[in-house]
A and B are shown apart, each in its own frame.
Chain A
Amino acid sequence: NAGVTQTPKFQVLKTGQSMTLQCAQDMNHEYMSWYRQDPGMGLRLIHYSVGAGITDQGEVPNGYNVSRSTTEDFPLRLLSAAPSQTSVYFCASSLTIGPGYGYTFGSGTRLTVV
Chain B
Amino acid sequence: DAKTTQPNSMESNEEEPVHLPCNHSTISGTDYIHWYRQLPSQGPEYVIHGLTSNVNNRMASLAIAEDRKSSTLILHRATLRDAAVYYCILAWGAQKLVFGQGTRLTINP
Contacts and interface: CB of A to CB of B under 8 A. Distances in A.
Interface of A: 31, 33, 35, 41-45, 48, 50, 58-59, 90, 92, 94, 97-108
B102 A99 contact: no
18 contacts: A31-B94, A31-B95, A42-B102, A43-B44, A43-B99, A44-B99, A45-B96, A48-B96, A50-B94, A58-B96, A90-B43, A97-B94, A97-B95, A99-B32, A99-B34, A99-B93, A105-B45, A108-B42
Contacts, number: 60
A90 B98 contact: no
B97 to A, nearest CB: 7
Contact of B46 (A44, A102, A106): A102
A104 B43 CA distance: 9
B91 interface: yes
B26 interface: no
Given A41-B101, A42-B101, A99-B32, 10 more contacts: A42-B87, A43-B99, A50-B94, A92-B43, A97-B95, A99-B93, A99-B95, A102-B46, A103-B36, A107-B42
B51 A100 contact: yes
Given A50-B94, A99-B91, A105-B43, A42 B99 contact: yes
Contacts of B99: 35, 42-44
Contacts of B43: 90, 92, 105-108
Interface in B64-101: 87, 91-101
A107 B44 CA distance: 8
A90 B44 contact: yes
A105 B98 contact: no
